[in-house]
Amino acid sequence: MTTTVQRRVQIALAALGVVVTLIGAVIVAGAYRNDAKIDANKATAVAEVISADRLHAAVNFVTPDGVLRNPKLGLLYPTRLSTGQRILVDYDASDPDTLARPADRGASLSIRPALSVVAAGWVVVIVLMLGVAEVGRRTRRS
């Protein structure tokens, strides 16, 4: 492998690392944006968890106008919830079918998963860069 090819591959890998970092930033920014939308027109209701797993929770709650709501995308920050549980949810009163979150949770919970994605991405990129450097060194030596 020539040094030019090696350099181009490593630049592409570094660009991939930057993309992964941007994805992590978008995850956090999106969570804060959703929270800002909820906080701008916040209402609270008691909800029943219909289904829950590690990454998703579906709930039903009744708004003050008597309509049963079930947010399309489930709850934001759904960890540690179980089916049948009754919880307080904050929701966007102007659009209760879209954004809802457990009352005691916020966007700061998105930081750790985003950092995990970024760290794992950079570990993979660095390992691949070192592998490319080693292959380049060995091919130039022989």
d(CA 101, CA 87): 10
d(CA 62, CA 83): 18
**Residues 17-45: tens digit of each pLDDT:** 999 999 999 999 999 999 999 999 999 99
Residues 3-141, CATH architecture: Beta Barrel (2.40)
Residue 55 is predicted with a pLDDT of 87
pTM for this entry: 0.84
**Residues 43-79: tens digit of each pLDDT:** 999 999 999 998 899 999 999 999 999 999 899 999 8
Residue 47 CB neighbours (<10 A): 26
Give the pair of three-digit tokens for residue 52: 């829950």
How many residues belong to the chain?
142
The two beta strands, 68-69 and 57-62, are: antiparallel
